Each structure stands twice: as C-alpha cells, then as structure tokens.
Amino acid sequence: MHTLDQPISYLKGVGPQRAELLLKELRLRTLGDVLLDFPFRYVDRTQVTKIADIQADSETVQLIGTLTTAKYEGHGRKKRLKAVLKDDTGSIELIWFRSISTIEKMIELQQRYVVFGKLGWFNHRPTIAHPEMESLEEFLHKNKAGLAPVYHSTETLTKRGIDIRIRRRMIRQLLDRLASSDIPETLPDYLIQKQRLMPRAEALRAIHLPTGPEQLRQARHRLKFEELFYLQLALLQRNQQRKDQEAGYKMRSDGPQLTGYLRDYIPFELTGAQKRVLREIADDLRSGYQMNRLLQGDVGSGKTMVSLLAILMAIDSGYQACLMAPTEILAQQHYHSFRESFASMGLTADFLSGSVKGKEREAVLDRLASGSSQLIIGTHALIEDPVTFHNLGLAITDEQHRFGVKQRARLWAKAKSGAPHILVMTATPIPRTLAMTSYGDLDVSVIDELPPGRKPVSTVHRRETQRASVIEFMHKEIAKGRQVYVVYPLIDESEKLDLQNLQEGYDQLLIYFPRPRFQLSVVHGRMKPQDKDLEMQRFAQGKTQILVATTVIEVGVNVPNASVMIIENAERFGLSQLHQLRGRVGRGAEQSYCILMSGYKLSDDAKKRIGTMCRTNDGFEIARVDLELRGPGSIHGTQQSGTVGLKIADLLEDGALLAHVRQIAKLITSKDPDLSHELNAPLRQYMQSHAEQLKNWSKIG
C-alpha cells in the first residue's frame, strides 16, 4: 500500500475514534487526504505582544508568559477552568469551558508558554477563551517561519478535543515521515520549467509549513495551477471525445428557407453579436461534428431570433427541430412568435404540453412522427415516451439550468440515428471564469449586445416612506396606457407568511386602484396551472393593468406594454433573481422602470445587491458581483459542475490564471489529443488515476 493511501489512524495520536470523527466531519480518510486538506489562512506568529500593550481593538493576540495559577470555578454545566498568565508587564486570565479535565492534564504551573487566541473583555480586563498553547521550547523549535496554518474545522471536532494544535501536530508528523518520493510529480518537466513552477513535493510541504511569505506564494501558485490545469484538460478532452464519438448531421447554412427569411421577413438588421453567434452555429452545423453549444445572452439580446435561424438551417437540410422550455407560458410565448413566421413560409410548427389532450394531442404526435411537422415547441411533455420524431436533427432547450441532466438526455435520445445537434440557451449571464469551468466542455457563444433603440431600464431604490410617490408614479404610467408588475418574494420556509404579504399588498393596491376603473391580476405558485396561465394571459392581452405576483413570473412573460417592475422586499432577493425580474420590462420602445422597495435595515450584502442593480444594467457585471457575494456553488447550474470542489483555486481571484491554463491545455491537446507522447506521460497517468474525480468535476450533461 502506498504511504498516502494508508488510513489516517496510522498517525500517532489518531486512534479509531478520532479517525472515525475526522472522516465524518471532514471526509479525511487517508494520509493523502490529510496532505491535501490545505490551510485556509495563516497566523503571523512572529509578533509577540506584551500584556500591558494589548489594545482594545485587537482581534487576536500572541503572548509569552508564565502560567502562575489554575483553578476550577462554578458547578455542573457552568463549571470552567481559569488560569493566569503573567509576563514582566502584567497578567491576563485564560478560560476554558470545554474539555477542561483534558486541559488541566496538559498544562503545568510555573512553566513558560506561548499563548495565542481571540481577545475578549470582562470588567474592562482582557481575557482569552480556549487559547492555543505551546511550551516556549516547543514553539521555538517548530515555528521558525512564524506562519502557522489554520485549517477548516467543525464545532464537533473542537468539542471532542481535535483542536488546531492537534491538527498542526498531525500534519507535522505526516510531513516528517514522508520522503519526496512518496509525493509523485504530476506535471511534465517541460511544463514545470517553462511555467517556473515549484516541484509538487516542495509545494505540498510549503503550503502547510512555509518558511516565509514568498515560499507560500510560490506553493499556492503551483497548486492552483495544477488544480485548474487538470480541470481544463479534462473538459477539453471530454469535448474532443464527444466530437469524435458523436458524428453530427451535416447541415447547410445557405438553404432557401433561411435565405428567404433573412431577405423577406426580418424588418431589422441583426446586431453584430447576433451575426457572430450565427456564424459560430453555422460552422458547427456544417462541420460534421455534433454541435454542443451554450448560447448565453442577457434578457432581450435576441437569442430567440438566433435560435429561429438555426432551426431554419436544420429544416433546409431535411431535419426536424424541437425547442423545450421550462414553463407552459414560456413555451407558448415561443410558439406564438414562431408560428406566424412559419405559416408565412409554408412550414408547420406544433405545440405540445400537458394541457394539449385528446384528438388534438394525437394529431400533433402523428404530424411529428410522419415528418409533416418541421418544428415542435413544448414543455417537459416533449420527453414523454409517446413522442417520436421522423428525423430530429436539432434540439434546443431554453433556460437550460431548469432541466435536469436526465431530462435533457431523454430529449436528445429522441433522434433515430446518432445524436441531434444541441443548443442550450440561458438568459442568466455567466461570468467568464465560471463558464470555463461549469460549461467548459460546451462551446460557448455570447450575445453581448442589445438591439439598437432598446432603452436601458431605469432602476431606483425606494423605502416605505416613499410609498405615496411610487403609487403616484404607477398612476401616471397606467394613464399613458402602460402596465405594471408588482412582485413579492416567495421563500419556501415562510411560504405562508409570503402569501399573506402578497394578499395584503393586493388588498392595499385595490384601495389605490379601485375596480371597475382598474383591473388587477394575481399569480402565485399555489394556484392551479390553468388559473395561473389564465391570469398571465389576461395581463399579456392588456385586460389587466397590474399583475401582482410572486417570482413565478421571473422567466416566461413577454409583455412589451409593461413598463414598470416594482419589487417588494427587494433585500430578500438574490442579485441574479433581481436582474431576471427587471428583464420582464424594457421590452418595448418606451422607457421602462424598476423600483426596488425595501425596509430601512439592510445587511451589507443587501446594500451591495441593491446598489449594483441601480448602478448597472450589464448582466455580466451583475453576474460577477453575484459570484463575489454568493460563491460559485450558488450560481445556476454549477451544483452539477463540481467547481465547488476546488480545494485551493478561487474562481474570482484566479480568473487570469484560469484563462492562462486553459490556453496551455488547449495547446497540449491540439498537438497530442491522447497524451500519448512520452513527454506527456505524467499527464496521461494523472488523468487515468483521477478519471472518476475529473469526470464528476466536469459533468454538465
């Protein structure tokens, strides 16, 4: 058994019980797991403070002194151990509430200790609860660099006596017993030399026990490089393997339907971004490889038009296409916008959802199976077994993060021979660093330009005392013939309370906008789908002036006449959700507005979210701030990607490094796709031995 594969219980002082606890709490099973459990910060232990010089605003402090007294106080659950540490300028009280019998056995009176901990104050005197303690002799021997590692822990571990001191002892003991040969190099020599990287064995020692800041910087750079490099290598290889294994239907991009539509039916010029993305899609469809492309673009950027033109390429080439949307109203919206164009060109487009039943459903299925229907637009109903295609060549999913991997796979399996070309669309802007990891095995197209004449939505923040002016503004907009959304948060844990808030808000609006002069619609998640769709359709048709809703309208309603979006309790929404909601307005030629209503007490994060919304309409800037606030694991779809599993790299901090290693990985795979060259043997070996981990990391479906 390789040394690093040995159980963690091989370390002195880690018996079966501690091993079980470390596995349960931190998933540390082997010595290799301990080695790869990196510190998340370091404490500068070069600074020693005299007790008399302790400042009230200091968070932590390191002292050297003699332990003069130690005694128990209190009884039962309130029992605690108190000790006094003295130096030549004064004294300080140390206190323990947990594991006090163990602590008592470890400390000796009249011995000199180095004490480090978080400062507390009691009766204007400093105290330290549960300090880190080492004898002065031990400290001087083991902390020559002065940078002490701090590891992630849990309350359970601390309560059970596995504190920071034990964790440091474990890593020192492990490093003492490891030879350099026990830590194999994973990168080829030419890469280490050209990129000036620290050897892996040295980096793994330095990350835990650095001799100084510069060595630590180099160690972190080496380990971040390796982690991001192998992730990108796995994604690029997977992309290439898919292309090699999945021959795509070869399609034309100059057929009569496409050229006729561009000539006769588009009353406006495509934006430069739309033209660029269309060229990328056309290149894929002509290539003979299966297209697997992510199309991302902000709300209103023209993704639907691009998808229509891609569908016409498929039809010109003799294939059928399908478009699956997550909600019936969004699917209906796509269907209505496509149907008119298709009818004028003599083509057939059908619609399928759970609400299409009986003879109408049978007729749709027959047309699809016979090939007389060139396009089907629908919801999850498209993946049900009765649905068969005559010749499916292009499968499109809108707002793809709302579909599971298995659901998408079932749709793509509808092709009779081979895999259809795949286009997945999202209006959720994804920061470039996240796209390179979460969607690294997809080719990414970005529409980063809005159609000319589209006015940015004006966004403002208002508080409850300004409610009257907001009501007055709503009246002015409605008098112009415009419509208004009023959205309330809906959070599962307090659904009852939220619906109550929505109902109260609705009742209050009826006072300011009485019937029959005004008509209001109400939509929330607890309504029956048909009732919800009816209310949304009434609003879309202009029969109601105000739509009072929860976030069910986040995706799927396109009402160009709606010019005002009011978001109540805006502080309770995430940044990407606020941006999606704002995207429901600004779809017509008139100036539109988003009003963020909030209480007075706002957290720092809430202030930043609302401030960002008022400052910019740029979805990619908003996504960047969202990533900064919430972390990669919270962004749509990334739970599947494994990016949250990165041990040391940070997608925000290391964006430039990520782009750099992707270019290197691209260069290597373009010259040696199978990594069969002798120089790339370390890469091949690593990819083989970590195949399962890398597969999980890069899995997007």
What is the chain's alpha carbon radius of gyration, rounded to the nearest angstrom?
31
- Given a contact cutoff of 8 angstroms between Cβ atoms, the answer to whether 376 and 364 are in contact is yes
Over the stretch 257-315, which tens digit does the pLDDT of each residue have?
999 888 888 878 899 999 999 999 999 999 888 888 889 887 778 888 999 999 999 99
Helix segments in 488-548, DSSP class H: 495-512, 529-540
Over the stretch 665-691, which tens digit does the pLDDT of each residue have?
999 998 998 899 999 999 999 998 887
Helix segments in 246-301, DSSP class H: 256-264, 272-287
- Given a contact cutoff of 8 angstroms between Cβ atoms, the answer to whether 274 and 306 are in contact is yes
| pLDDT, position 640 | 35
Walk me through the domains of the chain, giving residue ranges and CATH numbers: 46-142 (2.40.50.140), 256-287+301-426 (3.40.50.300), 458-616 (3.40.50.300)
Q: Of 589, 578, 653, whose CA–CA distance to 617 is shortest?
A: 578
Q: Which helix (H) or strand (E) holds 486?
A: strand 483-487
Mean pLDDT of all residues in 625-648: 58
| pLDDT, position 631 | 63
- pTM across the whole model: 0.67
| pLDDT, position 642 | 36
- Rounded Cα gap, residues 509 and 520, in angstroms: 9
| pLDDT, position 524 | 81
Mean pLDDT of all residues in 12-35: 91
For residues 326 and 324, the model is more confident at 324
| pLDDT, position 525 | 73
| pLDDT, position 699 | 42
Q: Residue 135: exposed, middle, or buried by beta-carbon count in 10 A (0-12, 13-18, 19+)?
A: middle
Query: Taking each helix axis from N to C terminus, what angle separates 303-316 and 256-264, rounded to the nearest 10 degrees?
Result: 140
| pLDDT, position 564 | 95
- Given a contact cutoff of 8 angstroms between Cβ atoms, the answer to whether 494 and 550 are in contact is no
Highest mean pLDDT pick, 77-81, 127-131, 418-422: 127-131
Mean pLDDT of all residues in 198-221: 93
User: Which three-class secondary structure state does DSSP give residue 426?
Assistant: strand
Q: What is the pLDDT of the chain when averaged over all its residues? A: 85
| pLDDT, position 188 | 95
Mean pLDDT of all residues in 507-532: 87
Mean pLDDT of all residues in 176-190: 91
Over the stretch 583-601, which tens digit does the pLDDT of each residue have?
888 877 789 999 999 988 8
- Please check the confidence at residue 354 and state whether its pLDDT lies above 60: yes
- Please check the confidence at residue 15 and state whether its pLDDT lies above 90: no
Mean pLDDT of all residues in 579-586: 86
- Rounded Cα gap, residues 384 and 405, in angstroms: 15
Q: What are the residues facing 72 on neighbouring strands?
A: 81
User: Which three-class secondary structure state does DSSP give residue 291?
Assistant: coil
Over the stretch 40-83, which tens digit does the pLDDT of each residue have?
988 877 788 899 898 887 788 889 999 999 988 888 878 889 99
Q: Residue 492 — pLDDT band, cuts 50, 70, 90?
A: very low
